[in-house]
Amino acid sequence: MASSAANTETPQLNPVIEPLSWMLGTWLSDPPGDGTFPTMKPFQYLEEVHISHVGQPMLNFSFNAFHPDTRKPMHRECGFIRLKPDTNKVAFISAQNTGLVEVEEGEVNGQELSIASHSIARISFAKKPHVEQITRKFRLNSDGKLEQTVSMATTTQPMTQHLHITYKKVTP
């Protein structure tokens, strides 16, 4: 009997995550994203995003940022987006290469997802100032592009916009 791992057909979308189906696909930054924060000089970045599913009631994601000139890897994170069945309540679970692990929670309304940090953990030798709060907004704009805005507060700065990026879908 063949193992189920050998089955390469895309599983059917779990109906629980239908309200998030607009996020599915591979997305590339277009144009480069803008990063800013009071404690750092402004920067730009490229990012590739993969949002997929394996038939479970959640989405899988990876965000991989690169320097726009050197193409060297920068920020990376991966995780899951879960939807509480029969509600618009969403949980975003993320592990980041900076040593941060976070759970953000919020709501999906139409083609917009707004979430805020519920809990943040970090490695013992994480760089200071420490991130204390994060909010994110994803939305599918009228051009069919995915936008992400990230704001954060640290031990030294109040909640301030940190990142804004627009992605073009490259594969379904």
* pLDDT per position as a tens digit, 127-155: 889 999 999 999 999 999 999 999 999 99
Number of C-beta neighbours around residue 115 at 10 A: 21
Q: How does pLDDT run across 18-69, given as a tens digit for each residue?
A: 999 999 999 999 999 999 999 999 999 999 999 999 999 999 999 999 999 9
Give the residue among 126, 123, 133, 122 at the shortest CA–CA distance from 156: 133
pTM above the 0.85 mark? yes
What residue spans define the domains of the chain? Answer: 15-171
From residue 73, give the alpha-carbon distance in Å to each of 32, 113, 142.
14, 27, 30
**Long-range Cβ contact pairs of 149-153 (< 8 A, separation 24 or more):** 152/37
Is residue 3 helix, strand or coil?
coil
Is residue 21 helix, strand or coil?
helix
Fold (topology level) of 15-171: Lipocalin (2.40.128)
- What letter would DSSP give residue 88? S
